[in-house]
Structure 1
Amino acid sequence: MGFHVQSVTDSHLMVIYSSILGPGDLVIAISISGETAEVINAVRAAKQNGAKLICLTSFTDSTIAQCADFCFPVVNPLFVDQERFVNSQLSTLYTIDLLCLILLKDEARKKKMNITVETIVKQSHLK
């Protein structure tokens, strides 16, 4: 869609990258508990530098949610009968998909996404 994006799962890199973010940057933090220390440290560093924060968590009163500019609550297996396990990762991925659909309503983003998809398809045919 034309965004420069990085997915970071290493706790040290989270803090390093977050420390150099600024007012034009957006962090999407995912912590089901909302209390993952490494994620909280990274979020605080990013917020201190003026970055905006969206979080996905199951607990809207958690530390990460309190730091966020906007919070998307996601389902958690603790909220349902545990004999019928609901994986919190599924609701998190679904929420991310919904965000992408909203962003793709913008024609310029949609065009860039199509260019990306076409490039990947062309590369796969070259192998």
Structure 2
Amino acid sequence: GYTAKELTQRLIRMGIAAFGMTESHSMYISSGIVEKNDVILALSATGNTAEVNSAAKAGQKQGATVIAITGIEDSPLYQLSDLALLVKNSNFVDNARFINSQFAMTYIVDIITTLLLDEKDHRTKMDQTIELITNNKFDKH
């Protein structure tokens, strides 16, 4: 969920309409109103999260493209997605509590946003938002 929120913030700052959702009802509602030019970027470490998978399927029925970032190749999310980005998962470690599966997903988010910033319009919007934030003087009166 935190990785999805981070990606959402980055995309918004580039001028890309994005909505990061972690609550199942919001996922279902949004996936029910997407259109064929929309993209659902579904993040799930295991690819077995029922709510994420159901929302992704519903979005596909509406014509949206589903891109998955997941750690398990034979998972339901990996199998249903139009494009899947496979990341390392922590299942190979005896005690997964010490390995954070978000690291690999965050790395993919870094790659995606870096590639998007190669596009001039996205870079311009990002620069504008950085300038707005750093130069904004709040009126204290």
Q: TM-score, normalised by structure 1?
A: 0.91
In the alignment, structure 1 residue 17 sits paired with structure 2 residue 49: no
- Match in the other structure for 1:40: 53
What is the aligned-residue identity percentage? 37
- Match in the other structure for 1:26: 39
- Match in the other structure for 2:138: 126
How many residues are matched? 126
User: Is the CA contact 2:72–2:89 (under 8 Å) kept in the aligned structure 1?
Assistant: no
CA distance in 1: counterparts of 2:126 and 2:107, whole angstroms: 19
- Over aligned residues, Cα RMSD in angstroms? 1.7
CA distance in 2: counterparts of 1:83 and 1:52, whole angstroms: 32
Paired letter, 1:126: F
1:59-70 to structure 2, matched below 5 A, reads 59-70=72-83
CA distance in 1: counterparts of 2:67 and 2:47, whole angstroms: 12
CA distance in 1: counterparts of 2:96 and 2:54, whole angstroms: 34
Instruction: Report the Cα offset of residue 6 of structure 1.
Output: 0.6
Q: Give the SS at the match of 1:126.
A: coil
Instruction: Report the Cα offset of residue 85 of structure 1.
Output: 3.1
Instruction: Report the Cα offset of residue 72 of structure 1.
Output: 1.1
CA distance in 2: counterparts of 1:120 and 1:67, whole angstroms: 39
Q: Give the SS at the match of 2:98.
A: coil
Gaps of 5+ in 2: 1-13
CA distance in 2: counterparts of 1:116 and 1:21, whole angstroms: 27
75-84 or 104-113, which deviates more: 75-84
Q: TM-score, normalised by structure 2?
A: 0.82
